[in-house]
Amino acid sequence: MLKLLMVGAGGIGGYYAARFLEAGHQVVLTARGAHLHALKRSGLTVHYEGREPVHMAAAHDHQELVTRYKSDEFDLIIITLKATATVSVVSELGDWLKQGRAPVLSLQNGVDNEPLLAKAVGAERVIGGLAVLIGGHIARPGVIEAEGLAQIVMGEWPKVSGRQDSRTPLLKILVAAFNDAGIPTRYSDNINY
């Protein structure tokens, strides 16, 4: 069982969080506003392929997160916010993230997120990722609608050539855990884009 932090429990993050929760992993969510209040009150509902599972999970804003948890309490921190929010997340959570060694997986749109995260936490902790063929949005606070195959491709970012990368064994574990959770996932030895 993994303990995961999903930074951004919107359309994409909420869907993946629900899959992990269904598979028995422990997931902590971050959100804000009415969506956060609904997650705390009624849980996370995800409409996907005719199913509507509801999951109760710890949900916090960023201030609550840094007060209640240490970043090393998580096996993996997954960033699923829009690329335009990366700078603000690094500003809000950067010091907290630096206090630990937990790997950070970017599942965001755009190609500039990994360098920003690497500056904040160190390149050796960053895992590059692509969420492929998934669409999702918040239908109303606490309720996500998602569609598509929802595949993930992940790999070391940046790629270290000429020597064994310490992230490679972890990536094999993560790929297996993601697939076991019903998230089609594959490893790429060239995620640099």
pLDDT digits (tens, 9 = 90+) for 83-105: 999 999 999 999 999 999 999 99
| Phi and psi based region of residue 50 (left: phi greater than 0; alpha: psi -120 to 50; beta: remaining) | left
Architecture in CATH for domain 3-187: 3-Layer(aba) Sandwich (3.40)
Domain ranges of the chain: 3-187
- The 3-state DSSP class for residue 132 equals strand
| Under 8 Å between Cβ of 25 and 4 | yes
Q: What is the CA radius of gyration of the chain?
A: 15
Whole-model pTM: value is 0.95
Q: Is the pLDDT of residue 192 over 90?
A: no
| Under 8 Å between Cβ of 84 and 12 | no
Q: Is the pLDDT of residue 166 over 60?
A: yes
Band of the pLDDT at 174, cuts 50, 70, 90? very high
The angle that helices 113-121 and 86-98 make with each other, rounded to 10 degrees, is 20
Q: Is the pLDDT of residue 111 over 70?
A: no
| Under 8 Å between Cβ of 126 and 192 | no
Please state, for a pLDDT cut of 90, what percent of the chain lies above it: 88
Overall average pLDDT of the 160-179 stretch: 88
Q: What are the tens digits of pLDDT across the range 14-64?
A: 999 999 999 999 999 999 999 999 999 999 999 999 999 999 999 999 999
Band of the pLDDT at 162, cuts 50, 70, 90? low
Mean pLDDT, the chain, as a whole number?
94
